Amino acid sequence: MKLHLVLLLAGISFVDIASRTLATAAPPDANAIQTGIQTIIQSMESAKQATPDAQDEFLVLAYSHAQDRPPTPAEFFTLRMLRAAEQLSNEQILLLVLQDDQGIVTWDQCRTFLEKTVTAGFISTPETHLLTNTLLKTPIDAILEELQADNVQKDDLQNTSNIIEEPLPDVQYNTYFGDLHNHSNLSHGMGSASEAYAYARDVAGLDFFSLSDHSELMIFWPWDHKWEQMRDVAETYNAPGQFVTLWGFEWSHPFMGHINVFNSEDTTNCIATMTLWGFYHWLQERPEAFGTFNHPGFFNYAIGEFRHFLITPAVVPQMVGIELFNTCMGFDFYYYQNRWGNDLPYIDMANTRGWRLGALGGDDNHFATWDTDCPYRTGVLATELTREAIIDAYRARRFYSTENLNLLLDFRCAGYPMGSHLRGIPRTFTLSAHDTSQTRLKAVSFYRNGERVETRAVNSSSVEIIFQDTASSGLDYYYGIVESSAGDHNGRHDEAISSPIWFDAEPVVPAPGCNAASGTTVNSLDFHAPVDGTICVAIPCILLTLLGWAARRKKSGKGLMPGLSH
């Protein structure tokens, strides 16, 4: 690859590019900078069509010119895989390597890049070829080590908190259907942002909608404001009470998996924020934003997608859900089958590890047929159809995932809705379901910690089932699944899955005669005799302590005694 560039940074005629607007704070030489960058990109197109070796050398050259250093192994392989997965253009590659650590490209960065390119040329040398071959031979362990290098950042995150608001009981909600995972030509999809929001409203008939274009493909030059375009269009189509719009982006990491973020003021991408902990740190610094785990199982390469839900407590309040359907792949793929080799579905794998993820899904549409190819939906329980109410419902996990767009579902405990975090009330649950097309419902199942504990047959288009759990008072979560008589998914009918209701462990009340002030505990094997000195009264306290300890060991899978299985 040998590109000889002669660029004049002044006096070059301005190239008008459709859908691009010069920034209001553009410098006097803005036209020349923009034209110079476009000339470089056009000259680079021959490299795009060259051999794979030449394309890899282009990555090294781009980093060296943009950042004054070659890429690290993780940067090289992440961008290389991203190039293949997202079919990156030379312009997009250059944007990604030119950005600063905030994911922004400035006029000064563009000017400096042009000046260096004019001076040094954009030419592959024997040194470039050698370095590229060295990077290609990097062991995967070294790449993974680099991608996990900010564990200190993870530890810092664990020491902070972001409290979820307390739920309210007996609130009456409306059910609204919508979708927050979609794409347009702002990134890797077909159709404009305006077409997407209009189609979702007028053709798909959704109550709410959001684009979440790939941020790696949406990074903007100083003259290309794609993020602002999306937000402006969303504001234009937002009509409280009729059709609600949000905006978002997809952090699309080829190793770590894809995560959507909504309601943020800005974006990041997997090159500016390359590690999972770095992304969590970015999210935590924006408490107004919330995120969802997308299509689990699609990017489970050597490192382990989402690090297989290794818990990061600080962002638990902001990571609100996980997809149980994506495009036209429903529960068969994302709940019943593809599980990283684990016995638990993805949602249960995450929730048993301490996350608080609700059940949702995304059309993930790239073909300008937003939410009309498949009937799957996310149902949201909200007090009204406004942006604020929809965001509140997502943050509170008041939503469910359904393969039947006619199926209404409400799951509560003592009046508290799905998504609630409770303690100290009876574990009596009510699941209400109704099919608006009058299709019969066949069965209702209740789950505790991912395990089915009861199934009841039904035969009506409307049901209300009460389930009481008297077998557990520990740290648990519960959800319900409703099966319809319609549809056919590998022998199963259409289903809807609620978001869970979480319970903290109940406090253990000391037995009569046990003095709490004496030091009796239920969290360890330390105990003291009661103050009156009668050992017989201390026995119930000891038994309570031992039973609590045994229950905790059994729940954690450690066995009742070290070295023995339970």
**pLDDT value of position 11:** 32
* Residue range 397-441, pLDDT digits in tens: 999 999 999 999 999 999 999 999 999 999 999 999 999 999 999
Burial of 108 (0-12, 13-18, 19+ CB in 10 A): exposed
φ, ψ dihedrals at 156, nearest 5°: -60, -40
φ, ψ dihedrals at 66, nearest 5°: -80, -35
**pLDDT value of position 340:** 87
The residue assigned the tokens 């529960």 is 331
Six-digit token string for 294: 């997308």
Domain ranges of the chain: 2-147, 169-402, 408-507, 516-556
pTM reported for the whole predicted model: 0.84
| Neighbour count for residue 307 (Cβ, 10 Å) | 17
Rounded mean pLDDT, 18-46 = 73
User: Which residues have CB under 8 Å from 341's CB, separation 6+?
Assistant: none
**pLDDT value of position 408:** 98
Q: Do the beta carbons of residue 436 and residue 519 sit within 8 Å?
A: no
Sheet holding 428-435, edge to edge: 416-417, 407-413, 428-435, 462-468
Q: Are strands 441-448 and 428-435 parallel, antiparallel or unpaired?
A: unpaired
Q: How far apart are the first and last CA of the chain?
A: 64
Report residue 5's pLDDT band, with 50, 70 and 90 as the boundaries. very low
* Residue range 179-210, pLDDT digits in tens: 999 999 999 899 999 999 999 999 999 999 99
User: Which residues have CB under 8 Å from 37's CB, separation 6+?
Assistant: 94, 110, 113, 114, 221
Which CATH superfamily hosts domain 408-507? Answer: Immunoglobulins (2.60.40.10)
Name the residue type at position 166: E
**pLDDT value of position 153:** 56
User: Which residues have CB under 8 Å from 105's CB, separation 6+?
Assistant: 95, 98, 99, 219, 220, 221, 222
Rounded mean pLDDT, 212-216 = 96
3-class DSSP state of 23 = coil
Q: Residue 475 above 60 pLDDT?
A: yes
* Residue range 298-356, pLDDT digits in tens: 998 777 899 999 999 999 999 999 999 999 999 999 999 878 888 899 999 999 999 99
- The C-alpha atoms of residue 60 and residue 44 are separated, in whole angstroms, by 14
Six-digit token string for 141: 């362990």
Report residue 545's pLDDT band, with 50, 70 and 90 as the boundaries. very low
Q: Do the beta carbons of residue 399 and residue 393 sit within 8 Å?
A: yes
- The C-alpha atoms of residue 69 and residue 73 are separated, in whole angstroms, by 12
**pLDDT value of position 166:** 78
**pLDDT value of position 156:** 59
- The C-alpha atoms of residue 129 and residue 141 are separated, in whole angstroms, by 23
Rounded mean pLDDT, 268-275 = 94
By mean pLDDT, which of 212-216, 268-272, 442-446, 539-543 is the weakest?
539-543
Closest CA to 197 of 215, 216, 214, 178: 178
Closest CA to 416 of 175, 174, 170, 165: 170
How many DSSP H helices and E strands does the chain contain? Answer: 16, 21
Q: Do the beta carbons of residue 323 and residue 293 sit within 8 Å?
A: yes
Q: What is the mean pLDDT of the chain?
A: 83
- The C-alpha atoms of residue 487 and residue 376 are separated, in whole angstroms, by 12
The residue assigned the tokens 């005669």 is 513
Radius of gyration from C-alpha coordinates of the chain: 27
Q: Hey, what CATH topology would domain 169-402 get?
A: TIM Barrel (3.20.20)
3-class DSSP state of 149 = coil
Between 73-86 and 126-136, two packed helices, what is the crossing angle to 10 degrees? 80
3-class DSSP state of 22 = coil
Secondary element (H or E) of residue 54: helix 52-67
- The C-alpha atoms of residue 134 and residue 470 are separated, in whole angstroms, by 62
The residue assigned the tokens 């740290």 is 475
What does the chain come to in residues? Answer: 566
Name the residue type at position 158: Q
**Where would I find the beta strands (DSSP E) of 144-265?**
174-179, 208-214, 244-253, 257-262
**pLDDT value of position 181:** 98
